[in-house]
Amino acid sequence: MTERRASGFLIFLLLAGLVAFAPAAAAEPAGERPDIRLVLVIIVDQLRGDALDGDLSRLSGGGFNRFYQEGLVYRRALMRFAPTSTGPGHATLATGALPSVHGIAGNEWWDRSSGKKVYCTADPQHGLVGSPVPSPAGFSPRNLRAETLGDALFRRSSGASRTLAVSLKDRSAILMAGHRGKAVWYLRQEGRFVSSDYYYPQLPAWLEDFNTKRMKALDTASWTLLLPEARYRFADRDDQPWERNYQDFGRTFPHRLEDTLDPGSALRLMPLADELTVELAIRGATAEGLGRGPATDLLVVALSATDYIGHSFGPDSLEWEDNLMRLDSQVARLLEWADREIGPDHALVALSADHGIASAPEFLDLQGEAAGRIDVPGMLEGLRHELTDEFGLKADPLLGAKMPAIYLDWRVMDHAGVDRETAERAAGRYVERVEGVAAALTRTDLLSGRVPAGEPMQRILAGFDKDRSGDLVIVQQPGWYLENDPEKYATNHGSPYDYDAHVPMMFLAPGLPSAVSDRVVGTDDLAPSIAGFLGFDGPAQASGVLLEEIASAAGAGSYNPPQ
């Protein structure tokens, strides 16, 4: 570790209060605790909670079905926060904490002091490693304010435990890797996997070899249907009007990279992207000897193709349906590797998702449901005029907007002598008149805990960070699309509703019961449950709990609150 990184992490520990944190002694099980050498965490980006309903019969026996047959499956895992997006979703899975604590309040937010937009894993102090083209972008976990599962393993083992996280997305890999792990992700501009000098001074040989030999042989790759067309629910709907023809990738099968405007970007819309992620993760884990060291190691494989495919085609499409079949084969591949190289008695495997996905509003409309696309550009322009006219402002009253958050420019308000709470409420009144908007929650009310009753609103409260969240948080009507660009995607996620917050959560480990539960649990329970099974408390800031079925198997006391 470099001196800069070591000192940076020490500052993190001091700020988070982790130096003084000492794990409590876990209750010893009646029998011998399983010797877990590797924790394998699989995160599927955008796996909606009902995605596997009715599809298990078409899937292999070695992927999702294996969890259902041999593992512990929670069909009703919910995100206890919003926005339900990639950054907050992965950070919560990694830390067991909510965004109001871990600080990843969105994929992006506005910084008040600089007046600039901040990306959740941006760090100008740590540049890219592995890109042949110099880039001003830098990446690290500096914005993550909480300890991750990997960090807790490192602390508990006095530095012997290792973490590797691999994904298409930098934010998925970095937030899951935490402050003490290694992160690797895909750079679409170069069509190769890279990292940051926070993790590596230069790319390790196994990663450079993968880029040189594997990533340069993809130009003619194509995506065809895995099964006979008649076996698909959406076989007769391969070209729906709301689907997006991203980079000329096409709206019908087959999809060919050689037909696209930007193969490096379009690759992310193919199941092949997950296949490459899995292959690289296995190579990296093998080269680094994960699962063969003196302490329990952690391998995180964050699979992102489902998210890109869902945004472009929607979850009610032939593409999404076929991708699920191919995703299943990659889950099976990871489980087979863990069995072969680590052994089923020495591996704990967990699988979940960072968020769900809404159906395209046009699809919902065909089903007779109220839905639509909120005119966000028109809303923001109208809000500017409303506030300027009401308060006699001489400058733009908006600092920025990243749905569902709107940031007012406090300097403009202060200069005009406008009370901030008064400005928030005026902005909220205007936004709530926009078609498709259910509510606009103000910063003042959120900081005071004053939100309307109901689970969706409580999720927004749990996702609100006082330093990084906006002055207004917009809640759309169910089924309505909310994004800065109303036409960017076929559909989106981010809302506090169950279709975005509901995901599956599954575990495979020696001694765990084989059961399928409809009991409601939280995605923030994943990291504490893994830690509890291994025999310690953690991560440090986690508010999630050790689930009672896992606690019983591990011989530990349950941390579940009374029902």
- Quote the Cα angle for 436-104-527, to 5°: 110
> 263-309: per-residue pLDDT in tens?
999 999 999 999 999 999 999 999 999 999 999 999 999 999 999 99
> 10-41: per-residue pLDDT in tens?
334 434 443 333 333 333 344 577 899 999 99
Across the chain, mean pLDDT equals 92
Check pLDDT > 90 for residue 49: yes
What is the distance between the alpha carbons of residues 440 and 432, in angstroms, rounded to a whole number? 6
Average pLDDT of the segment spanning 124-147? 92
Q: Provide the residue count of the chain.
A: 563
Average pLDDT of the segment spanning 440-464? 96
Q: What is the pLDDT of residue 33?
A: 78
Q: What is the pLDDT of residue 106?
A: 98
Name the 3-class secondary structure at 167: strand
Beta-strand pair 347-353/502-508: antiparallel
Given phi > 0 = left and psi -120 to 50 = alpha, else beta, which region is 368? Answer: left
Average pLDDT of the segment spanning 308-318? 98
CA dist list (Å): 196 to 84, 126, 172, 233, 397: 26, 6, 14, 42, 37
Q: What is the pLDDT of residue 556?
A: 52
Q: What is the pLDDT of residue 134?
A: 76
What is the distance between the alpha carbons of residues 107 and 88, in angstroms, rounded to a whole number? 7
Please name which of 91, 89, 175, 105 lies closest in space to residue 467, comparing C-alpha atoms. Answer: 105
Average pLDDT of the segment spanning 64-83? 97
Q: What is the pLDDT of residue 452?
A: 93
* E strand or H helix that includes residue 369: none
Q: What is the pLDDT of residue 216?
A: 80
> 515-553: per-residue pLDDT in tens?
999 999 999 999 999 999 999 998 999 999 999 999 988
Average pLDDT of the segment spanning 92-120? 97
Q: Which DSSP string do the residues of 24-88 spell out, in sequence order?
A: PPPPPPSSPPP---EEEEEEETT--TTTTTTTGGGS-TTTHHHHHHHSEEEEEEE-SSS--SHHH
Check pLDDT > 90 for residue 109: yes
Average pLDDT of the segment spanning 347-371? 97
Q: What is the pLDDT of residue 553?
A: 84
Which amino acid appears at position 380 of this protein?
L
Beta-strand pair 480-481/372-373: parallel
The answer to whether 553 touches 26, Cβ cutoff 8 Å, is no
